């Protein structure tokens, strides 16, 4: 027997409709690419998004079309998302930090028909547009005054193009499982893989993000998403903020410490989110200037592991709560957030930091387990680590085009490729990537933990650990080190530094010194390249 | 084009699975019907709910069967809900405050096959069970020791019956639109009408309820739902609390001021919810004993309008935040909650109370409009009142069996039967019931506002306003008054008291004094009876 409740599909434009109806005068403040800080409201954004939707249809775009964006966080970018979704088309965020060839590959794979591009990225797009066969319209996110000369196909300034649209438009209606957005992951190996979000997954993810023990977003918050919209949906803030009616502050192209601080201060931002690198720059700026953060209440830090010292500084020096989070593009992206359950709420000092440096626990809507290679579940004992697998309504069930099918099993568990342990209270900590973890005689050794230890040595600039072949153990750890300038630590110095800090059987079998460790375009260590480089390395212990 | 996200149906038992996995040791504390305060955990509740599900199937119950509950708020009652829902059956909460004949009528209409009944209500059930043709199993929510002698069909004590179940059970799987729960509304006229909740609507409602600007529920909260589970799902707390991992404190059968205070104090309750009557008893108890509320953070008050003075006392005398809420059984039930948007957040004193005594604004997931009788939308100006209509994923689209179809229009707007105005910031205030509002020459007069004014007169015990026929205006207000004992106000006294407080054209055309005003079983004024009584009343002005 079915219930007798309304069919009210979870559609993204309802988030903006709600914001316009209930929080219509609330502001979206943007640092524009042209320079000035500009202001709009949810009511105006909705009107313009409707107009944009009508304009897209006038251009012949419609349901299912992929419309790319290559843009910073601004109100224009966000209203473009809503306009695109409102006709059943798919916004496709491109990461400008990738190599131009990768971007072109991704656009061709997605068959993007149009692109909204910021002035900043016009030169980049000019390099690749010719090789994107599907592309027939380029909208430059600026006005006629700032519009550059460009040979891009169908190029027009956003404001001129939008002016030809009509406010008199109604959102198209469709199933809540209709595709809404698209984002490609940039792995360290292989081709990028596309994740295709649905309206339902975006709305449910917004709900998961906003809950009190997740981000805890309120209409009284002033939220600055420093994390880019091209980085896994700005962690859902573009949907969650209109849903709760929070003020949005969009930092545009300037992500340096001084520019971020200026907006935090003048706009009285209460909530912000970004990767650790951004906060390093901010903390350095605060240190140099003596700036304070009297308005800021909470900062969500994710994308890579947040250093313990950063949590302590925000908390102790600036009175700001840090929520350490973990997620993936494939998860929309939130997977876990480190807020305190009552079991931990009373902790202080180091004991509190011990909890806060974990990636936290999975909210309702994310199921989590850790397993061995044969899919047997590991206990949640805070020590045993295994492959981290997840399930939920905002988790991908496949990649666009069918790549990477081996990451999804028959019960829809998605293998994250991360390795983690989970404590008895559900707090998860990433210890490695599955393809990097070293399997020594059947036992797993975390390369990340070893690297974190090694970079603690005062003479070490960067460290990477890979598994080197060993005839008895299968693999043993090899520590690859870049020395600090004018320092000359020996193998014995480095190993002696690790002694006593790690289990004896985790001790690297050798240390090699190099001048450079290879990185991806987004700054991750390319261990696959290192492994290739040291494929024939003969360990002294073997 | 569809998205590529997981099919992860929104099913109620996933709420309990999540609580068991992430908050397994969190307690559910109950004042048992037998007397003592008893404790269990989410992990244990899940195990017992699975066992209960297996036991129901062993009894031959299955998908779609309506299984009634006639019970107080206890852990047993809640685990019964989850066990029932977990086989695709439907929990059906019966309101023991209705007349026995009404309960029997409802059980027959729903064709309940079994009932879980508290010891308290065994005598009540014995009166009616014989007339409920579908009933074949009565489970008394107690153990063998406390099991009474009873002629009820298939009667057995809960613990004995449950012991025959198996923990080794897996939740049945089904569509998220499957019926999960049922609750009949008790209107002031006509037969009760059944609302049939789905798994999807229950889960989405839990999400709406828990959000920061709604109830704002956290794993660190200790939540006492004083509002009964038979009163519109205990306002969603039975779903929202496991979802966020909040501790639950279930007050069982004792709802007097002293008993409620005892649990608030000893269990360090941080959050509670009930109708104003309960809080009147608590405040009286606190006044008599000098008790304080150091742990309580927030109280949600709904079910009927919360007096301004009550909000002020909680806030000023006890430091407790009041969230005034409005809803209906047909809305699962939440429709609006009065938390403060930034436009109002800085208000203090009377200006703050002016906002807090409204029923607040609709969260994401509830659409709201006010219209005239021809469905033309009224402006949100804080003055113009009209029929309040709502839409959303947790709003009914029909009643069970098809009654009341006229309340739902083609666009699925549900006519609440309430009359309200909405201010420019979205804050809604109920001014009347649509069937009670007086239409005087095309203009609407709120009977509730007139009644609230009239009971302010020191000699008036109770007042009701109805429309009396008028040849020129159609209807004009007639004020029906019960005098206080030993007081003898005249018509002129009462009208003089109103003069200056209301618009001139709202002034009642006459006042009649009666010894008694008729009420329903749940304490509402039966204006339909009054209207019948004064059907032929000749106004002196006509």
pLDDT > 70 fraction of chain A, expressed in percent and rounded: 99
Query: In the annotation, is B262 catalytic?
Result: no
d(CA A465, CA A436): 8
Q: Which of A254, A369, A435, A439 is catalytic?
A: A439
H helices present in B171-329, as ranges:
199-210, 237-244, 257-266, 276-289, 308-312, 318
Pairing of strands B414-422, B386-391: antiparallel
Q: HSE (CB half, 13 Å, CA atoms) of A176?
A: 18
Q: Residue B473, Cβ neighbours under 10 Å: how many?
A: 19
Best probe of the A interface among B2, B4, B269, B402, by most A CBs < 10 A, is: B4
Tokens of A505: 């059987």
Q: Is A161 a known active-site residue? A: no
Identify the helix (H) or strand (E) that includes residue A196: strand A193-198
The conformation of residue B395, written as its DSSP 8-state character, comes to S
In this predicted structure, what is the pLDDT of residue A189? Answer: 65
DSSP classification of residue B295: S
* Predicted pLDDT at A188: 60
The total number of residues written for chain A in this structure: 542
Active-site position among B81, B444, B473, B506: B444
Sign of torsion over alpha carbons A461, A464, A470, A475:
positive
For residue A368 the two structure tokens come to 């989590």
**Which of A22, A339, A396 lies nearest to residue B426, judging by beta carbons?**
A22
Report yes or no: A329 and A185 within 8 Å, Cβ to Cβ.
yes
User: pLDDT by residue (tens digit) across B408-435?
Assistant: 999 999 999 999 999 999 999 999 999 9
**Environment class of residue B449 by beta-carbon count within 10 Å: exposed (0-12), middle (13-18) or buried (19+)?**
middle
Residue A330 annotated to the active site? yes
Residues 257-286 of A with CB under 8 A from B: none
Quote the minimal CA–CA distance from A317 to chain B in Å. Answer: 25
Distance (Å, whole) CA A386 – CA A457: 28
**ipTM of the modeled complex:** 0.94
pLDDT of residue A190: 78
**Which of these, A388, A435, A496, lies nearest to A190 by C-alpha position?**
A435
Classify B486 as helix, strand or coil.
coil
Residue B151 in tokens: 């002629």
Q: B400 in contact with A at a CB cutoff of 8 Å?
A: yes
Q: Is B362 exposed, middle or buried (0-12, 13-18, 19+ CB in 10 A)?
A: buried
Interatomic CA distance for residues A25 and A40, integer angstroms: 9
DSSP H/E element including A431: strand A428-433
CA B151/CA B139 separation, integer angstroms: 12
CA distance B48 to A94: 49
Token duo for residue A411: 């019960």
Distance CA B137, CA B135 (A): 6
Q: For residues A23 and A240, is the Cβ–Cβ distance under 8 A?
A: no
For residue range B19-64, list pLDDT tens digits in order.
999 999 999 999 999 999 999 999 999 999 999 999 999 999 999 9
Task: State yes or no: pLDDT of B365 exceeds 70.
Answer: yes
What is the rounded distance in angstroms from the CA atom of residue A436 to the CA atom of residue A74?
Answer: 37
Q: Convert B209-248 into a string of H (helix), E (strand) and C (coil).
A: HHCCCCCCCCCCCEEEECCCCCCHHHHHHHHHHHHHCCEE
Cis peptide before B333 (omega within 30 of 0): yes
Confidence at residue B294, expressed as pLDDT on a 0 to 100 scale:
97
User: What are the φ/ψ torsions at residue A501 (nearest 5 degrees)?
Assistant: -90, -20
* Composition of chain B by helix, strand, coil, percent to 5: 30, 25, 40
Which residues 49-88 of chain B have a CB within 8 Å of chain A? 63-64
By the CB < 8 Å criterion, does A398 face chain B? yes
CB contact under 8 A, A341 and B245: yes
- Cross-chain Cβ contact B364/A216 below 8 Å: no
Using CB atoms, pick whichever of A175, A213, A397 lies closest to residue B219: A213
Interface test with A, best of B21, B212, B337, B410 (most A CBs within 10 A): B212
Give me the catalytic one of B57, B176, B267, B330.
Answer: B330
What is the predicted pLDDT for the residue at A186?
Answer: 75
Could you give the CA distance from residue B423 to residue B425 in angstroms, rounded to a whole number?
5
A25 touches chain B (CB under 8 A): yes
Q: Is A515 near chain B, with CB under 8 Å?
A: no
Angle at B340 between CA B338 and CA B342, to 5 degrees: 155
Q: List A residues 410-439 in contact with B (Cβ-Cβ < 8 A).
A: 412, 414, 426
Peptide bond into A333 cis (omega under 30): yes
pLDDT score at B3: 98
Contact between residue A459 and residue A493 where contact means Cβ atoms under 8 Å apart: yes
Residue B377: DSSP 8-state: B
How far out from the chain centre does Cα B112 lie? 22
- A217-229: b (≥16 Cβ within 10 Å) or e: bbbbbbbbbbbbb
**pLDDT tens-digit readout, A179-198:** 999 999 976 667 899 999 99
Give the mean model confidence (pLDDT) for residues A94-98: 95
Kindly write down the DSSP assignment for every residue of A241-253, as one continuous string: HHHHT-EEEE-BT
Contacts of B341 in chain A (CB under 8 A): 23, 219-220, 245
Q: What is the pLDDT of residue A449?
A: 87
| pLDDT surpassing 70 at residue B189 | no
Nearest of B13, B47, B18 to residue A426 by alpha carbon: B18
How far out from the chain centre does Cα A162 lie? Answer: 30
Report the Cα B164 to chain-centroid distance in Å.
Answer: 35
- Within 168-187 of B, beta carbons closer than 8 Å to A belong to 175, 177-180
Please count the other Cβ atoms lying within 10 Å of the Cβ belonging to residue A177: 18
The pTM is what?
Answer: 0.94
The sign of the dihedral angle between the CA atoms of B276, B280, B283, B289 is negative
Element (H, E) at A139: strand A137-140
Contact B3 A201 (CB under 8 A): yes
Within B97-145, where are the H helices? Answer: 100-110, 122-128
Question: Quick check: B472 pLDDT over 70?
Answer: yes
Distances in whole angstroms, Cα of residue B35 to Cα of each of A17, B120, B251: 50, 12, 11
CA distance A26 to chain B (A): 9
Q: How many Cβ atoms from other residues are within 10 Å of residue A100's Cβ?
A: 14
Q: Three-state DSSP class for A143? A: coil
Supply the mean pLDDT for chain B: 96
Note whether A111 contacts B: Cβ–Cβ < 8 A: no
Burial degree of B405 (CB within 10 A; 0-12, 13-18, 19+): exposed
Q: Which residues contact B187 (CB under 8 A, 6 or more apart)?
A: B193
Instruction: Read off the pLDDT band of A443 (50, 70, 90).
Output: confident
Cβ atoms of A172 and A87 closer than 8 Å: yes
Q: Do B243 and A364 touch (CB under 8 A)?
A: yes
pLDDT in tens, B499-541: 999 989 999 999 999 999 998 776 788 999 999 999 999 999 9
Interface membership of A10 toward B (CB under 8 Å) = yes
Contact status, residue A484 vs residue A455, Cβ threshold 8 Å: no
How many Cβ atoms are within 10 Å of A170's Cβ, its own excluded?
A: 10
Decide: A225 and A75 in contact? Cβ < 8 Å. no
Judge whether A466 and A531 are in contact, CB under 8 Å: yes
Arithmetic mean of pLDDT over chain A? 96
Q: Residue A532 contacts by C-beta under 8 Å, 6 or more apart in sequence?
A: none
Least Cα separation, residue A79 to chain B (angstroms): 19
* Rounded average pLDDT over A331-340: 98
Cβ-contact A31, A252 below 8 angstroms: yes
The CA distance from B135 to the nearest CA of chain A, in Å, is 19
Q: Are A82 and A45 in contact (CB under 8 A)?
A: yes
Q: Is A247 helix (H, G, I), strand (E, B) or coil?
A: strand
A198 touches chain B (CB under 8 A): yes
Q: Which residues of A touch B177 (CB under 8 A)?
A: 2-3, 5
In this prediction, residue B309 has a pLDDT band, given cuts at 50, 70 and 90, of very high
The torsion defined by the Cα of A58, A62, A68 and A72, in degrees rounded to 10, comes to 60
Instruction: Answer whether A4 sits within 8 Å of B177, measured CB to CB.
Output: no
Encoded tokens for A521: 């375009």
User: How many other CB atoms sit within 10 Å of the CB of residue A372?
Assistant: 14
Q: Are B510 and B491 in contact (CB under 8 A)?
A: yes
Q: So what's the pLDDT on residue B112? A: 98
The reported pLDDT for the residue numbered B187 is 65
Buried b (16+ CB within 10 A) or exposed e, A335-371: bbbbbbbbbbeeeeeeebbebbbbbbbbbbbbbbbbe
Contact status of B157 with chain A (Cβ, < 8 Å): no
Active site residue B451: no
Chain A, window 341-360: residues with a beta carbon less than 8 angstroms from a chain B beta carbon: 341-343, 345
Predicted confidence at residue A524, as pLDDT, reads: 80
Give yes or no for a contact between B260 and B281, defined as CB atoms under 8 angstroms apart: yes
Q: Tell me if chain B has a CB within 8 Å of the CB of A245.
A: yes
pLDDT for residue A523: 75
Does the CB of A6 have a partner CB in chain B at under 8 Å?
Answer: yes
pLDDT of residue B523: 75
Q: What are phi and psi of B98, to 5 degrees?
A: -75, 165
**Min distance A255 CA to chain B CA atoms (Å):** 27
Q: What is the mean pLDDT of residues B74-102?
A: 97
Q: Is the pLDDT of residue B188 over 70?
A: no
The residue with tokens 């009652």 is B77
Q: Do B6 and A396 touch (CB under 8 A)?
A: yes
């Amino acid at each position: 027997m079915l219930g007798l409740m309304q069919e009210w599909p979870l559609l993204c434009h309802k988030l903006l409709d709600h914001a316009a109806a209930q929080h219509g005068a609330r502001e979206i403040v943007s640092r524009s690419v042209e320079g000035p800080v500009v202001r709009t409201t949810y009511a105006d954004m909705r009107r313009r998004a409707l107009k944009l939707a009508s304009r897209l249809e006038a251009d012949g775009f419609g349901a299912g079309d992929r419309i790319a964006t290559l843009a910073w966080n601004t109100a224009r970018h966000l209203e473009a998302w809503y306009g695109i979704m409102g006709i059943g088309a798919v916004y496709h965020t491109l990461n400008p930090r990738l190599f131009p060839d990768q971007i072109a590959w991704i656009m061709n794979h997605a068959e993007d028909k149009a692109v909204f591009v910021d002035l900043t990225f016009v030169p980049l797009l000019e390099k690749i547009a010719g090789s994107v066969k599907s592309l027939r319209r380029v909208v430059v996110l600026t006005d006629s005054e700032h519009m550059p000369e460009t040979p891009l196909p169908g190029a027009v300034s956003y404001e001129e193009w939008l002016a030809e649209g009509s406010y008199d438009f109604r959102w198209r209606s469709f199933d809540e499982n209709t595709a809404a957005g698209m984002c490609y992951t940039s792995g360290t190996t292989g081709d990028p893989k596309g994740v295709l979000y649905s309206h339902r997954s975006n709305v449910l993810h917004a709900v998961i993000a906003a809950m009190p023990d997740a981000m805890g977003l309120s209409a009284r918050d002033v939220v600055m998403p420093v994390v880019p919209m091209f980085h896994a949906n700005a962690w859902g803030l573009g949907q969650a903020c209109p849903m709760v009616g929070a003020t949005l502050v969009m930092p545009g192209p300037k992500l340096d410490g001084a520019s971020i601080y200026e907006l935090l201060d003048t706009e009285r931002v209460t909530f912000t989110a970004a990767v650790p690198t951004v906060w390093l720059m901010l903390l350095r700026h605060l240190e140099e200037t003596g700036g304070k953060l009297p308005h800021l209440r909470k900062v969500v830090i994710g994308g890579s592991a947040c250093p313990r010292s950063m949590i302590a500084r925000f908390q102790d020096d600036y009175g700001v709560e840090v929520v350490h989070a973990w997620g993936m593009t494939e998860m929309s992206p939130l997977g876990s957030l480190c807020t305190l359950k009552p079991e931990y709420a009373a902790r202080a000092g180091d004991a509190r930091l011990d909890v806060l440096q974990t990636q936290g626990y999975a909210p309702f809507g994310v199921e989590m387990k850790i397993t061995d290679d044969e899919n047997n579940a590991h206990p949640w004992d805070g020590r045993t680590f295994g492959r981290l697998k997840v399930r939920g309504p905002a988790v991908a069930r496949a990649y666009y085009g069918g790549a990477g099918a081996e990451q999804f099993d028959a019960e829809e568990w998605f293998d994250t490729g991360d390795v983690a342990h989970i404590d008895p209270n559900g707090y998860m900590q990433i210890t490695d990537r599955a393809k990097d973890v070293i399997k020594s005689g059947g036992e797993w050794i975390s390369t990340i933990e070893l690297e974190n230890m090694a970079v603690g040595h005062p003479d070490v600039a960067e460290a990477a650990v890979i598994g080197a072949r060993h005839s008895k153990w299968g693999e043993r750890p090899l520590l690859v080190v870049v020395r600090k300038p004018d320092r000359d630590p020996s193998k014995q110095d480095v190993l002696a530094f690790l002694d006593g800090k790690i289990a004896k059987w985790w001790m690297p079998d050798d240390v090699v010194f190099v001048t450079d460790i290879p990185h991806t375009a987004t700054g991750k260590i390319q261990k696959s390249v290192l492994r290739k480089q040291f494929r024939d390395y003969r360990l002294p212990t073997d």
